[in-house]
Homo-oligomer: A and B are copies of this chain.
Amino acid sequence: MKLYDYNGASNPRRVRIFIAEKSINIETIQVDLASGQQFSDEYKKINPYCVVPTLLLDDGTAIGEVPVICRYLEEIYPDHPLIGSTAEERAIISMWERRIELDGYFSVVDATRNSNSNLKGHAVTGPHSYEQIPALAERGKKRTFSFFEDLNSLLEKHSYAACDHFSIADITAVVAIDLAKKRLDITPDSALTHLHRWYKAVSARPSMKA
């Protein structure tokens, strides 16, 4: 099994943190997104959608999409569960992971892809070319601030993003916050005390260096 990865990118970081939390070892191969290696014919054979990460199984099966890769790894390596131990727990954690991705992570990505001068003509992930929409970049920023507030409300109810223990939902939330800081210079307001208490605890985990 091999993970096609790029150290500078946030989407593969979600999988790297997941792997580190599960204490498993998977060989990684760097795909240089900065030089456009994801659009090469060689990589298109592995992932025609031209994105990292991709998990390549020994029989040649290629699995794309971060939450799908994580669920597959959770199934074959059930120790240190990060998506829950019962059907109900898996549903609750997956629901919050998805909401955090759609409202938080995707908002940061919208704001970045529709404003960064290096991404002109690449406003949507994938092989098709779309022009940037400045109004969507603005909406993405507004939605990022709403995400911070909604996450703070969640963290008032339980210690971690989805429940009372660390899960994949926390990984997606931390990576979204770190990406907002890195790409948009946006950080959560200091009044969001539950978010800051949680962020301090989770970002100190060794896995977060991944």
Chain A residues in contact with chain B, CB under 8 A?
49, 57, 61, 63-65, 67-69, 71-72, 75-76, 87-88, 90-92, 94-95, 98-99, 103, 123-124, 126, 128, 130, 133, 135-136, 139, 142-143, 146
CA distance in complex: A69, B91 (Å): 7
Q: How far is the CA of A94 from the CA of B98 in the complex (A)?
A: 14
Q: Which residue of B61, B95, B103, B135 contacts A88 across the interface (Cβ within 8 Å)? A: B61
Distance between Cα atoms of A72 and B49 in the complex (Å) = 28
Q: Which residue of B lies closest to A103 (CB)?
A: B126
A67–B136 Cα gap in the complex (Å)?
26
Closest B-chain residue to A89, C-beta based? B61
What would 14 A/B residue contacts be, using CB atoms closer than 8 Å? A49-B99, A61-B92, A63-B95, A64-B99, A65-B98, A67-B98, A68-B91, A72-B91, A128-B143, A128-B146, A130-B142, A133-B136, A135-B136, A136-B136
- A94: chain B residues at CB < 8 Å are 65, 68, 71
Complex: A76 Cα to B72 Cα, angstroms: 19
Q: Which residue of B lies closest to A66 (CB)?
A: B98
Instruction: From known contacts A124-B143, A128-B146, A139-B133, infer whether A90 and B75 are also in contact, taking CB-CB under 8 Å.
Output: yes
Query: Is A68 a contact of B88 with CB atoms below 8 Å?
Result: no
Cβ–Cβ < 8 Å partners of A92 in chain B: 61, 63
Residues of B within 8 A of A135 (CB): 133, 135-136
A71 near B91 with CB under 8 A, answer yes
Q: Which residues of chain B are near A103, meaning CB under 8 Å? A: 126
Q: A20 to chain B: closest CB distance in Å?
A: 21
Residues of B within 8 A of A142 (CB): 130
A61 to B86, CA, bound (A): 13
